[in-house]
Structure 1
Amino acid sequence: MAPPTSSERFGLRRSIVASQTLLAAATLLSVVVSISVGQVGHASLFFGGTSLVFAGAIAAVLLPWQRMPRWVVGLLPIVDVVAIAVMRESSPLAGVGLLWTFPAIWIGTVFGLRGVVAVSLTVTAVMVHQLSTDDLQRFTASTLVLPFTVTALSSMAAFTARRSRAQRVLLEKQSAELRRALDRARRQEDLVTEVLDAVDFGVTRITPTGEFSVTNTAHGLLLNSTDAFGREVAVFAADGSTAIAPESAPLARARSGEVFEGEIVWYGLPGEDRRALNVTARRLPRSDAGDAGAVVVSRDVTVEEQARRAREDLVASVSHELRTPLTSIIGYLDLALDDDELDPATRERLEVAERNASRLLELVADILAVSSTSREGFGVDLDLRPTDVSAIVRSAIESIALKAHDHGILIEAGDLPTAHALVDGRRVRQVIDNLLSNAVKYNPRGGSVAVSVGNEPRSITVVISDDGPGISASEQARLFERFFRGDAVRKSSTHGSGLGLAISRDLVRAHGGEITVHTAAGEGATFTVRLPRDPRETP
C-alpha cells in the first residue's frame, strides 16, 4: 500500500477521533444500562475494559496520529477489540459484543480487506474462547450472527473506503488536468494581451451585457473619452464639423448591438490637436450559450485623412482656377458662333471646340462637387425625366466613333432596343462617355468594344465590354476610388486623372442604380450599368 499523503494523514486523525468518540459514547450507554439492570458480573473486569475504551478516546484526541507510523495507528482498534472482549467476559448477558462493530468498521475503512480478515478472525476467536471457557456464555443465534455482522460491516466499510479513494484519485487527476488547462489558458491570454498591446490599432471585446471584457492599450488611447484635464472630448462625424451626441458615438452604438464598417470619426474640436479614427464594429459568432457579444476595432487615420483633405483642397483650388478661363473661352466661342458670316468649315471647328470646352467645364464642376462633399456622398442635383437610354448610348457611340477609328478600335452595338428610365440624360451621357472613352483609350489597336442595352424587370442595363489589358484582382477593390490609377494604366502612354470611374459610380448611385465590373488581368473588362426603370413603363 502506498504511503499516505499529508491530506490522508489529517483525514486519518479525524477518522480516529470520530470513531473513538462514537465508541466511547456507545460504551457509556452500555455501562449505564448494564448497571441499571444488574447485568454486570465482574465489576473490576467490566470497568477495566470500559477504562481502556475511554483511554483510547482520550488518546485519539490528544496524540498526533498524523506523525505516527501506520502500525502504531493499528494498535488502537486492537486495544478496543480487547477492551470489548473484557467487558463481554465480565458481563455476558449485556450484549456489549455489538460494540465490536465500531472498531471493525474503522479497521475496514483504514486497512482494507486485510483489516477485515484480521478483525473477523479476532472476534471469532474471542467468541469461541469465551464460549468454551465461560459457563455463562451460551451458544445462541447471536453466536453466529455477531461475527457475520462484524465481518459484513467491516467489508462494507472497506469497499466504501476503496471506492472513495478511487474517486479521490480521479478527482485529483481531473483537478490537476484543470490546473494545467487553466495555466495554458492563462499563458495564452497573456500572449494575446501582449500581442494586442504591441499593435497600433485598438481592439475591444464587448460582452452581451455591454461590458468591456478585453481592451488593449491602443484602444484605450484612441478612444479615451476625456482629455488630460478631465474634460469630455467632443466627437464629430466624417466631415469633421458635424457633432455627434455621446449616445451616437461608436462605442455606445456598438454596446447597443449596432454593426458598422469603416466609419470615420473625429475626436477633438476643430483647430485643436484632434485625431481621426476608422472604427468597425462586428458581432461575434453565436456560441452554444447564446450571444457572444461584439468586437470593436479602431485605427488612427489622422494622417491619411489630413492628406486626403489636402489633396481635395488642392484639386478644388486648381479646378476653381480652371473654371474662370473656361467660362471665358466658352463665352467667346458663343460670340464667334453668332457671326452669320462664318464659313461652314470654320463654324464646324468652333462648334467642336465649344462642345469640348463645355464638357471640360462640366468635368471641372464635377471635380468641385466631389471635393466639396463627404466621403460617401456626391453633391450634384439631378434633373430626372423619362429618357430612352438607348438613344443616349447611340449618341455617345457616334460622338466617340471618330476617335475609335483613329485608334483602330471597332465598336459593335447592333440594334439597341428602346429602354426608358427615369434619369438625368445629361449625367447618364457623362457616365456612358467615360466608359466608352476608357474602353477605346486602353484597348490595343485592332481590338473591339461591344455595347448592349437590356430591359430587365426592375432596371435598364448598359453593358460595355472591351479587349483591353483587364484589371488584376488586387486592384479591383480600389477601381472606383478617387484618383486611383492601376499599374497597367500608369505604365501606358495614356493619361487620366483617376476620377472618371469614381464620378461615374457616384452619378449612377445618385440615380439609385449601381455600376459593376467583371474583369481579370489579360482578359479585358466588362462594365455593367444598372439604372431604375421608369415606374410608368411596364417590363
Structure 2
Amino acid sequence: MGSIARVRADGRDRRLFVLLAQVPLLVVLGALIAILRLFEPAVLAEPAFIASVVLAVLTSAAALFTGERRPRFSWIALVPFSDILVIALAREGLHLTHGTIPALGALVIFPVLWLATELRVWSLPAVLVASGLLTGLPYVLRGTPPQDPIEWLNVVLVPTALGSVALAAGSVMRRMREDRSRADDLAVRLGDSLAEASDRELTLRSVTETVEAAIVLFGPAGDIVLCNSTARLLYGRAGADEKGHFSDPPLIFGEDRVTRIPLDGSLAASALRDDPMAGRTYWIGATGAQRAVTVTSRRVTRPDGGSLGTVVVGYDVTPLVESIEIRDVFLASVSHELKTPLTNIIGYLDLMEEGPAAAEIAVVRNNAARLMGLISDLLTGAGTTQDVHRVPEDLTAITEAAIAAVLLGAQSSGVGIRLSPGAKVVAEVDRDAIRRVLDNLLSNAVKYSAAGTHVVVAVGENGRSAVITVEDSGVGISPEHQGRVFDRFFRAPLARSQAIPGTGLGLAIVQALVEAHGGTVSVESQLGTGSVFTVLLPLRTLAVAV
C-alpha cells in the first residue's frame, strides 16, 4: 500500500511538472498573439505561425493526459521536442515579416532543460537534435542553405551552447537523483532500524516482566531507564513514587532489619558508584511487612568503554531467609536443651571417677565431653550472638598451647606440627575464642594431611594486624569449592567419599569468631598440594561485640 501511494504521489508531481513547464511557452505565445492582433494582424495569417500555435495547443493538451506510471522510455519526452518545434515555427513566422526576435528564442532553454533531465543517457543527443531543429528548420522551410559564415556559425554555435547547458543540467540532476536515492535508502534503513529497535524493546520488556526478579536499569545520571513490575512493587514498598523518587528516607534496612540505609548508600547510589553489590541482602518495607531482597549489579558499557548505565537485579529471598532463621532457632533451642542435662551428667561423672568403675566412667565422661563440644559447635554455627571480651593477649603463647593440645593426636596419625620462630605478638583478643579458632584450624590440617607430612604454623604482624597462618600439605581444596568452605554444614565431596569425620561447622565457626574480632580469614589451596589458611586480627580495636 505504501509503495502504491508513493507511485501515485510521484505521478501527480510529474503531471504538475509537465504543466508548469508549458506555462512560460504558453504565456509568451499568448502575449505575442495579443500584441500581433493589435499591431500586426497580418503575421497571424502566416502558415508557419499558425502551425506553431496549433502545435502548442495540441502539445499542452497532451501534457494534461500524462499517466501516473512512468514507462521505461517516457513518451512524454516528445513534448519538449514539440515545444522546440513550436518556437522554431513561431520564429520563422515572425522572421518573414519582422526578422529574428531574441526573446522568443530564449524560451528554448525550458524544453532543453526538460530534455536534459528526462532522457538522462540520451539527453545530449536529444538536445543536439532539438537545437539543430531550432536553427535548421527555417532553412528547410525556405529551401535554401545558410548564405554566409555568420548564418553557418549560428547553426553550429546554438546546438553547441545548448548541449553544454544540457550536460551541466544533466550532471546536476544526476547528482540530485543520486542524493535522493541515498536519502530514500537511508530513510528505509532508518525505518527498519526503528522497527527492529522497537521489537527489541518490546522483547526486552516482555523478558523482564516474565522473570521473577526485580530488574532496574539506571542511566549514567542515575535516572531510571527500565523498571519491571516487580521492581516497581519493591520501590513502592520502600516508599518511592512512580518515578522512583523518595520524599522521605527510604524504607531500606541492613541485614539486621533495623539499621536504615541512607539515600546515598541505597541500591541505586551503590550501583552507580561501582560499589560491588553481589550477594548483599536488604530488608525493604515497614516493620512487620519487610521483604528480604538479595541484590546484584553490573555496569553496562559500550564497546569503547562509555557508560550506558547500571543494571540492578534483586531477588526476593524472604522465604529462604525465614527458613534459615527457623532452622537456626531450632538448632539453638535443641542444643540448649541438650547442653543442660549433659552438664549435670559430666558433673556427676567427675564425682564418680574415683570409684571401682573409674575406667568405664572415664570413657563415658570423654564421650559426654565430645558430645558437649558438638553441641557447642551447633550453638556457634546456629548464628546466635557471640560475645568476645578483648584484652591484650600473647598470641604466640595461645598458639603454642593450641599446638600442644593437638600434638599427641597428630603424632599418632604420623603428622608433625611445627611453629615457625618469630617475635612475640600481643593483640587485643578473646583468648578462648582465638584458642577455638586455632583448635579448629589445626584439627582440620591434621585431619586432611597424610602421614609423614608436617603442618606449619606462623604468628606475626603486618601493619596494624596480627597474622596467623596454618599451612598443611594435605589433599587440598578444588577451586570450585574454595568459595564455600566457610559455609555452615558444607563438606567437600572428597571428605564425604573418604569418610573423614566432621560436621561441616568448624570453618564456619572460625569465620564467625574471627569476624567477631573485626578480622578476616581466607584460604589459598591447590588440589593435591595442600592449603594455607590466613587469619588477620586487628592489634587494637574499639569494637566489642558481634
Q: Give TM-score scaled by structure 2 length.
A: 0.75
- C-alpha displacement of 1:527: 1.0
In structure 2, C-alpha distance between the alignment counterparts of 1:165 and 1:6, rounded to whole Å:
19
Task: Using the TM superposition, give the Cα deviation of residue 206 of structure 1 relative to its aligned residue in structure 2, in angstroms.
Answer: 2.7
What is the CA–CA distance in structure 1 between the aligned matches of 2:294 and 2:428, rounded to whole Å? 36
State the one-letter code of the partner of 2:322: Q
Structure 1 residue 313, shift from structure 2 partner: 0.7
Task: Report how many residues are paired.
Answer: 507
Match of 1:63 among 50, 62, 65: 65
Q: State yes or no: 1:82 paired with 2:85.
A: yes
Counterpart-to-counterpart distance in 2, 1:226 and 1:418: 52
Are 1:479 and 2:482 an aligned pair? no
**For residues 126-141 of structure 1, what are the structure 2 equivalents within 5 Å?**
126-130=134-138, 133=142, 139=150
1:410 CA drift (Å)? 1.4
Aligned pair partner of 1:295 in 311, 321, 333: 311
Q: How do 1:212-291 residues align onto structure 2 when only pairs under 5 Å count?
A: 212-215=224-227, 219=231, 225=237, 235=251, 237=253, 239=255, 241-242=257-258, 253=269, 259=275, 260-267=277-284, 275-286=291-302, 288=304, 290-291=306-307
Quote how far apart the aligned CAs of 1:293 are.
0.9
Q: 1:294 to 1:117 in 2, by over 3 A?
A: same
8 Å CA contact retained: 2:115, 2:123: yes
Instruction: State which of 105, 111, 122 in structure 2 corresponds to 1:103.
Output: 111
| Residue number in structure 2 paired with 1:376 | none
The residue type equivalent to 1:102 in the other structure is F
CA distance in structure 2 between the aligned counterparts of 1:246 and 1:417, rounded to whole angstroms: 45
2:403 aligned residue (397, 407, 410): 397
Residues 18 and 125 of structure 1: CA distance in aligned 2, closer, same or farther (over 3 Å): closer
133-142 or 20-29, which deviates more: 133-142
Q: Structure 1 residue 314: deviation in Å?
A: 1.1
SS, match of residue 488 in structure 2? coil
Which residue of structure 2 aligns with residue 310 of structure 1?
326
- Which stretch has the larger CA shift, 150-159 or 131-140? 131-140
Instruction: Find the aligned partners of 1:323 and 1:30 in 2 and give their Cα distance.
Output: 127
Give the residue type in structure 2 aligned to 1:42: V
Structure 2: where are the runs of 5+ without partners? 1-5, 542-546
Which residue does 2:536 correspond to in 1? 530
Equivalent pair of 1:392/1:425 in contact (CA under 8 Å): yes
Tell me by how many angstroms 1:248 deviates: 7.5
Q: Which runs of 5+ in 1 are unaligned?
A: 374-378
| Conserved? CA contact 1:326–1:361, under 8 Å | no
CA separation of 1:457 and 1:209: change in aligned 2, threshold 3 A: closer
| 8 Å contact from structure 2 (residues 11, 70) kept in 1 | no
Give the stretch that moved more between structures: 83-92 or 245-254.
245-254
| Structure 1 partner of 2:3 | none
In structure 2, what is the Cα distance between the partners aligned to 1:268 and 1:483? Answer: 31
In structure 1, what is the equivalent of residue 216 of structure 2?
Answer: 204
Say which SS state the counterpart of residue 118 (structure 2) adopts. helix
The residue identity in structure 2 corresponding to 1:123 is S
Please list the CA deviations of residues 258-302 of structure 1 after superposition, one character each: whole Å capped at 9, or x if unmatched. Answer: 742223234566666x64322223321256594301111122323
**Tell me, what secondary structure is at the counterpart of 1:496?**
coil
* Cα distance per residue 1:302-333 (max 9 Å; x no partner): 33212211111112212333454566678889
2:381 is the counterpart of 1:381: no
Letter aligned with residue 496 of structure 1: G
**Is residue 464–residue 528 contact of structure 1 (8 Å, CA) maintained in 2?**
yes
SS in 2 for 1:316: helix
CA contact (8 A) 2:378 2:505 kept: no
1:436 partnered with 2:442: yes
Q: C-alpha displacement at 1:80, in angstroms?
A: 1.1
Task: Identify which range, 173-182 or 136-145, moves more after superposition.
Answer: 136-145
Post-superposition shift, 1:75? 3.0
Query: In the alignment, residue 84 of structure 1 is paired with which amino acid?
Result: I
**More divergent stretch after superposition (482-491 vs 46-55):** 46-55
Q: More displaced, 169-178 or 36-45?
A: 36-45
2: distance between equivalents of 1:37 and 1:455? 122
Q: Would you say the 8 A contact 1:369–1:380 is kept in 2?
A: no
Provide the C-alpha distance between the structure 2 equivalents of 1:366 and 1:407, rounded to a whole number of angstroms. Answer: 27
One-letter identity of the residue aligned with 2:390: D
Summarize the Cα distance change of 1:35–1:145 in structure 2 as closer, same or farther, 3 Å threshold: farther
Deviation (angstroms), 1:152: 1.7
Checking the alignment, whether the CA contact within 8 Å between 1:396 and 1:433 is kept in structure 2 is yes
Give a deviation string over 1:461-512, Cα, whole Å, max 9, x none: 3221223322222211111112322223334444433332123223333434
The answer on whether the counterparts of 2:85 and 2:133 sit within 8 Å (CA) in structure 1 is no
Q: Aligned residue for 1:21? A: 23
1:314 counterpart SS class: helix
Distance 1:322 1:276 in 2: 32
Higher alpha-carbon deviation: 453-462 or 100-109 = 453-462
Match of 1:94 in 2: 101
Output the amino acid matched with 1:262.
G
Kindly state the Cα deviation for residue 174 of structure 1 after the two structures are TM-superposed.
4.8
Distance 1:447 1:255, change over 3 A: closer
Q: Identity of paired residues, percent?
A: 30
**Kindly tell me: are residues 365 and 5 of structure 1, through their superposed partners in 2, closer, same or farther at Cα, counting changes over 3 Å?**
closer
Pick the aligned partner of 2:513 from 504, 507, 519: 507
Rate the CA distance shift 1:360–1:236 in 2: closer, same or farther, 3 A: farther
Report SS of the residue matched to 1:418. Answer: coil
Deviation of 1:197 after TM superposition, in Å, equals: 4.7
Kept in 2, the 8 Å contact 1:204–1:216? The answer is yes
Contact 2:377 2:505 in 1 (8 A): no
Letter in 2 for 1:127: T
Does structure 2 retain, via aligned residues, the 8 Å contact 1:412–1:448?
Answer: yes
- Counterpart amino acid of 1:443? S
Q: Report the CA distance shift for 1:263/1:150 in structure 2 as closer, same or farther (over 3 A).
A: same
- Mapped to 2, the partners of 1:427 and 1:277 lie a distance apart of 32
**1:130 is aligned with what amino acid?**
P
The two structures have a TM-score, normalised by structure 1, of 0.76
Aligned-partner Cα distance in 2 for 1:158–1:360: 103
Aligned counterparts of 1:410 and 1:178: Cα–Cα separation in 2: 75
CA distance in 1 between counterparts of 2:455 and 2:315 reads 43
What secondary structure does 1:284 align onto?
strand
